[in-house]
Amino acid sequence: MSNKSGSVRLQCAEATAADWGCCFLSLSVPPPPPAAPCDADSNCGFNLAWTLHQSFHPPAGLFASVGHKVGVGFPASSSSSGATSSGNPQDPYRKYVSPEAVETSLPVPGDGVGLRGKGKKKAVRIKIKVGNSHLKRLISGGIAGAVSRTVVAPLETIRTHLMVGSNGNSSTEVFESIMKNEGWTGLFRGNFVNVIRVAPSKAIELFAFDTAKKFLTPKSGEERRIPIPPSLVAGAFAGVSSTLCTYPLELIKTRLTIQRGVYDNFLHAFVKIVREEGPAELYRGLTPSLIGVVPYAATNYFAYDTLKKVYKKMFKTNEISNVPTLLIGSAAGAISSTATFPLEVARKHMQVGAVGGRKVYKNMLHALLTILEDEGVGGLYRGLGPSCMKLVPAAGISFMCYEACKKILIEEEDE
């Protein structure tokens, strides 16, 4: 480009200062100032200067000229800054621009400055205030229990039938028998009662676990209060607490699942059992149930707490998202279910009692020995496959929902 470069300027007509409509963009081609001529190292081009009428803006104006640092073909001459500082600007319009503004450069993409990209979309997070931490744990536990048990209700029905040996000897036979005789609704038989039982049970269980663990865990600098891991004791305490409160619901749910046609609904089953067999019948099998729940809950919560610590240490993070929580909870459920399954089988046999001409067991040991004698070791693990299919995802979903609900339900001090 020749040295006769043009200059684009913003000028205003001779009007009032408030009349912004007078501004227009004009292209004038004045003679070039007697500055240093362009050489091979300079990038000659248009000089871009922005100014307004002197009567509107004082000498320390708001608009700066764009110098050669812009790097897009609008360089200023090398003598401009020197002329400005001497008080004799070669460009007559430069007098309206402050010296500080003259030195200001505009960033341009491609010259080490990137364009501002679109901001990332923020996920919508729901926060609900609750009164205190105890209420938060109870609500979170109830929701977790209801959701997890509803999702795995068909597997729970198949598992129960396999344990007591009704409707077939395999998961496929039980499923086909239920579908043939009852349809899809048969897979969810007793689920309403199951949700009613599990929701308060999980609420009490998770609340008891968190409370006991918080109490037993020593603070920084304190000595250990017990010689065994706090999560192990807290898990056992949580299992006992929930079982004592909800065991009658568990027994009625089992009766509704097995004794089809005997009871119309939950209330009818409750009244009939109390009237014909006595109130104590609602707690039949409580002792073996407690014996089975204590090791299961202790193992489950201990495994969950341990796996969480391993995950945090491995990935060096204090926050665990939903998917890892689901996997950790499922792994904990698989470990605890496999270790304590024979006790669960004995408990189910004792709950059914003498229904359909079945044997009546005196105690847990008698039930275990009788099953071992009649069916062998395989009888103690009958239904382990569908049990794991049900318990493993149920445990994972339960822990995931519980942790997610605790994040949604916040206390005032958590804000």
Q: Is there a domain that residue 107 lies in?
A: no
Q: Is there a domain that residue 296 lies in?
A: yes
Domain encompassing residue 203: 131-410
Q: Which of 198, 199, 192 is nearest to 269 (CA)?
A: 192
Single-letter residue type at 269 = A
Q: Is there a domain that residue 36 lies in?
A: no
pLDDT value of position 90? 52
pLDDT value of position 61? 45
Q: Is there a domain that residue 68 lies in?
A: no
Q: What is the mean pLDDT of residues 353-357?
A: 59
pLDDT value of position 192? 85
205 pLDDT more than 60: yes
Q: Is there a domain that residue 70 lies in?
A: no
Q: Is there a domain that residue 66 lies in?
A: no
Q: Which of 206, 238, 209, 213 is nearest to 139 (CA)?
A: 206
The domain that holds 228 is classified in CATH as 1.50.40.10
- pLDDT band per the 50, 70, 90 thresholds, residue 212: very high
209 pLDDT more than 80: yes
Burial 298-337 (b: 16+ CB within 10 A, else e): bbbbbbbbbbbeeeeeeeeeeebeeebbbbbbbbbbbbbb
- pLDDT band per the 50, 70, 90 thresholds, residue 201: confident
Average pLDDT of the residues of the chain:
74
Helix%, strand%, coil% for the chain, nearest 5:
60, 5, 35
Q: How far apart (Å, rounded) are the C-alpha atoms in residues 366 and 344?
A: 14
Q: What is the pLDDT of residues 295-317, one digit of tens each?
A: 989 999 999 999 999 999 999 99
DSSP letters, 345-385, are HHHHHHHHTTGGGPPPPSSHHHHHHHHHHHH-HHHHTTTHH
DSSP letters, 35-81, are -PPP-TTS----EEEE---TTTS-SS-S---B-GGG-SS-PPPTTHH
Q: What is the pLDDT of residues 73-114, one digit of tens each?
A: 444 444 444 444 444 445 555 555 555 444 444 444 444 443
What is the DSSP pairing of strand 23-28 with strand 7-12? antiparallel
Q: How far apart (Å, rounded) are the C-alpha atoms in residues 26 and 6?
A: 11
Q: What is the mean pLDDT of residues 233-240?
A: 95
pLDDT value of position 384? 84
* Gyration radius of the chain over CA positions: 39
Q: What is the pLDDT of residues 34-70, one digit of tens each?
A: 555 555 444 444 444 444 444 444 444 444 444 444 4
Alpha-carbon separation of residue 101 from 46, 59, 63, 230, 244 (angstroms) = 18, 11, 7, 67, 79
- pLDDT band per the 50, 70, 90 thresholds, residue 139: very high
Q: Is there a domain that residue 351 lies in?
A: yes
Structurally, the chain folds into a number of domains equal to 1
pLDDT value of position 325? 96
Sheet holding 47-50, edge to edge: 23-28, 7-12, 47-50
DSSP category for residue 124: P
Q: What is the pLDDT of residues 281-297, one digit of tens each?
A: 888 888 867 877 889 89
Q: Which of 231, 196, 194, 234 is nearest to 212 (CA)?
A: 234
Q: Is there a domain that residue 59 lies in?
A: no
